[in-house]
Every structure is written in C-alpha cells, then in structure tokens.
Structure 1
Amino acid sequence: MVVLKYEEIAESLRARIAAGEFSPGDTIPSGRDLAERWDVSRATAIKAVDVLRNDGVVVAKQGTGFVVTETPVARPAGARRAGSARILGGMPFLRIGEPDWAEPPARIAVSLGISPGVLALRRRRVLQLPDSTPHSYVEAWFPPDIAEAAPRLAGIAPIAEGTTRYVRRQTGRFPAEGMDVTTVRLATDDEAACLAVPTGTAVAVLLHTAHDEDGRPLVCEEGVTPSSLFEQVDTYAM
C-alpha cells in the first residue's frame, strides 16, 4: 500500500494527538512549520492538515491556526460513501459505559459472519443535537479478529484518528463496500433510556456493515433514531 507524503504527515499528527502531545484546545504546527520539518511544499503540508480538519480532529481558530477539537464528533450509522468526510454530518456524542465483549443479537452476528454464542466487541455512544438532547443511539460491533488485532478499540481513551483509520493501520484492512439496511420497530427499554423517550417509541433502525475488499466484515453498526428525528433524503438523476 503506497502512502502519500501528505497522508504520512497527517498520520504522524494523529499519532501525536493520540499520545497526548497535543491536548484539546492546543494548536498544532502551522503549515509552514510542517513544510520545513518534512521538507515538503507548503501545499502538501496544508493538504495534510485538511485531512485532519475533514475528519473533525482539528478546527480552524481565527488568529491562532488549527487547534485540536474540544468536543469529539461522530457520524450517525450508515452513509459512509467513499470520499465522505467524518465531520460532514458529524455530531457531538457521549460514550456509554466501557467497550465490552458480548454476544451480539442474531441480526448482528449474521452481518458479522460469526456463529451463535461467539462474542464480539461492542462500543456504544449517543449522538447529540445542538441542545445536547439525544439524537440517536449507536452500537458498534467488531468481530473477534478485528478487535484482537486492534486493542485500543477495547479502551475508553478516544481514538483521535478514528476507528476506521486505526483498524486500517493495525490490520491493513479497510472498507471497500458498505451495506445499509433501514427498518422500523419499537425501542427497547435500554434504547428508550439512552434516547430519553418512552419505552415502545417507534424508532428507525439503520444497520450498517462495512466489508473489506475480500468481502470480510470489519464492523457492524446499528443506529437507533426516534421516528420524530429520522429523515432520509436521496437526490438522484432521472
């Protein structure tokens, strides 16, 4: 796999942020400083910073430059088309509990291609609206081969580079095809509590599965959104 220079610079900055060298609110090196340190053009250095900005890792601050984001953002489940930036459609979120190994529901196990009774690693979060009220509850399930090769998935520390990039760096595998299936049902007690809605509220459920180039599942995310907040818009040529 060929790594371009701007990608190498961006990954170096991600690693330094993840290691705590730059904390939320800290300013990262300027494009000029990066260009000098890496012996590249300023345009290449700026392109590296743009990668981090598009992923929501840094934001522009007038008179300062680019600073590490104070509030982590994540996208709702699904709609992970090639070229889409993490910050587009991203929302602030709260992590729920700690990542844990659990037996996934049958629908998740089928999507991950694992047998009944096999445990998978689960990460949970609640995405929030601007007023901090819940928008959707998301459970991300990682199959054993991915979770064991990428141990930081089981930790509570944020993964500044994003789970997709981290998994790619650890395993060499990356999403080549995604499948989204949207259904409607009633919220479970746990889902209702996380979403601050009555038990039995109608919810839209988006099941997103990412596969690598060999068709092997990398992750399965299930996003649950109250019907009053769910909207799907498709624009297409006719």
Structure 2
Amino acid sequence: MAWNDSSLTSGGAPLWHQIAERLRSAIIAGHFKPGDLLPSEAELNRVFGVSRTTARGSLDTLEREGLIVRRSGVGSVVVEPMVELPANVMASFSEDMRRRGHAPSYQTISAGLAAIPLEVRDILRAPMAKQGFRIHRLLLADAKPIAVSISWIAPHVLAGHKPPTVRELDAGSLYQWLESVCGVRILSGHEVIEARVLDTQTATSLGVDSGTAALVVSRLSETADRTPVEFAQMTYRGDRYRLRIDI
C-alpha cells in the first residue's frame, strides 16, 4: 500500500496512527531516504482529509521514534536509522552491529604504546604499569561513522604476545583478536553511560557539528573471573545511537 493511498480505516486505529504507519513503512522500504523531506502537514491534510492536529500527530510520532527531525522553515527530514543497543548485553561493537542488521567496520587512527593515565591504571588494576597499549579507532555502521573509541588493553593480557597491528584492528573485532591470539575471552564487565557535547576534533571525525549531543560509554571488559582485560571510552553520535533497557 502506497503512503498516499487515501483510504484510511474508520473505527480502527486512530487516524494519526494509520498515517504514521504509512510513512514509517515508506521510510523502511526506502521510498523516503535519509535527507528526503516527508510530506508536509498541509499535504497530509489534502491527501487524507484530516485536521492539521491529526497530521501533526503522525509526524510527531515519527520524530519520537527517531525516524525524522523537524526543522523550522525546512520540514520533516528523514534521518539515518538509529542503532538501538540493549544496555544489559556484553558484546563487541561488531556483534552489536551485526545483530541489528548493520555492517560494522573500523578505521584505526592510532595504535601503540603510550603512558597510561592514573585513572586508567586504577580501573585496570595495574597500579605499577607505566605504559600500555592504546587504540584509537573510528567505528562505522554501514560505512558511516557512528562512534570514536579509545581503548587500553590491560598490560598482563599482551605479556608474551605481539600487540595487534593496524591491519588486524581494521579487519575486525578486538574481542575476537584477544580470544584467538591471547586466549582471553571477555564474558563480563560494566559500563557507565553519560551525555556530553562533542568537541571540535571528535565532531569532525564523526562528520557532525561541534557541540552536537553525544553519548559516552565507558566500559571495563573482564574475563569470567572478573580479571580486567580492556578499558574503553566510546563516544557515540547522539543522532545515531540509543540504549534500550529491558526491565
């Protein structure tokens, strides 16, 4: 059924809900792509013969769902789909993206030994360590930047092993590399999530304006016996990422 089929069902779901469903289906099917304008309230009024309030209600629903953004003087713009992640699942970025139908990829900005900040030493329970392996990567979903990640591997993990190369880091999941090369499997951990605004450097990497809202996820990854493996801070674009908590 086309979005502009004017036959709405009387006595069923509210009219605003039916219109929202038509437009939602059209977005999912690709008839409206990111950057496209949805029909205006006036056009919805004309096509469906509904009030302005009803038309506005359908567009408000799509905005709450993160499918569009309403811009004054422009209209209702379709945005890139949100990546929704459950907050109670311990998984790598690659696993999360694939589970939700997105193709993950990486661009390593830098990787090498660096002085470990005191707070990171405390988190990794390595108070005497002076240097650690630091990885700075751009995380992409469907070839589009979604987050910047800075992670530190606990010094004991790489004892006796060569650290990952840029090629290996660009090729896939760090969790998979740690398990296959170092024999370390991540099974537990915890995260702290906070809202911030992006600085100029991070915003440029993510292709958005400085000062844009972001979610910062600070994650300590551990083995089954709670031995620290990696500490990472991942800064996600607020317009592409959200968390879901099942209670």
The TM tier, using the shorter chain, reads 0.5 to 0.7
1:170 deviates by 4.1
Q: How does 1:1-238 map to 2 (within 5 A)?
A: 80-81=89-90, 86=95, 87-89=98-100, 91-115=103-127, 118-130=130-142, 132-153=143-164, 155-158=165-168, 162-236=173-247
The CA deviation string for residues 183-202 of structure 1, in whole angstroms up to 9 with x for no partner, is: 12232333222112233332
Paired with 1:116 and 1:186, the residues of 2 have a C-alpha distance of 33
Aligned residues: 158
- Indicate if the aligned counterparts of 1:122 and 1:141 stay in contact, CA closer than 8 A: yes
Aligned to 2:10: none
The CA deviation string for residues 123-167 of structure 1, in whole angstroms up to 9 with x for no partner, is: 22222243x4321111221122223433142x1222668433432
SS at match of 2:221: strand
- Indicate if the aligned counterparts of 1:208 and 1:222 stay in contact, CA closer than 8 A: yes
Paired with 1:121 and 1:109, the residues of 2 have a C-alpha distance of 12
Aligned in 2, Cα 1:118/1:197: closer, same or farther, shift over 3 Å? farther
Aligned in 2, Cα 1:228/1:108: closer, same or farther, shift over 3 Å? farther
Say which one has the larger Rg: 2
1:112 deviates by 1.6
Paired with 2:195 and 2:108, the residues of 1 have a C-alpha distance of 23
1:98 deviates by 3.5
Aligned in 2, Cα 1:141/1:135: closer, same or farther, shift over 3 Å? same
1:181 deviates by 1.1
Aligned in 2, Cα 1:193/1:156: closer, same or farther, shift over 3 Å? same
Paired with 1:174 and 1:139, the residues of 2 have a C-alpha distance of 20
The CA deviation string for residues 4-42 of structure 1, in whole angstroms up to 9 with x for no partner, is: xxxxxxxxxxxxxxxxxxxxxxxxxxxxxxxxxxxxxxx
**TM-score normalised by the chain length of structure 1:** 0.54
- Indicate if the aligned counterparts of 1:149 and 1:170 stay in contact, CA closer than 8 A: no
Aligned in 2, Cα 1:208/1:185: closer, same or farther, shift over 3 Å? same
**TM-score normalised by the chain length of structure 2:** 0.52
Aligned in 2, Cα 1:80/1:218: closer, same or farther, shift over 3 Å? farther
1:84 deviates by 11
- Indicate if the aligned counterparts of 1:206 and 1:224 stay in contact, CA closer than 8 A: yes
The AA in structure 2 aligned to 1:221 is: A
Structure 2 residue runs of 5 or longer lacking an equivalent are 1-84
1:83 deviates by 11
SS at match of 2:151: strand
Aligned in 2, Cα 1:231/1:148: closer, same or farther, shift over 3 Å? same
What value does the CA root-mean-square deviation take over the aligned residues? 3.2
Is the deviation greater in 107-116 or in 142-151?
A: 107-116
Paired with 2:196 and 2:93, the residues of 1 have a C-alpha distance of 28
Paired with 1:161 and 1:96, the residues of 2 have a C-alpha distance of 11
More strand, by proportion: 2
Paired with 1:158 and 1:97, the residues of 2 have a C-alpha distance of 13
1:224 deviates by 0.4
Is the deviation greater in 105-114 or in 199-208?
A: 105-114
Runs of 4+ residues deviating >6 angstroms = 82-85
- Indicate if the aligned counterparts of 1:123 and 1:139 stay in contact, CA closer than 8 A: yes
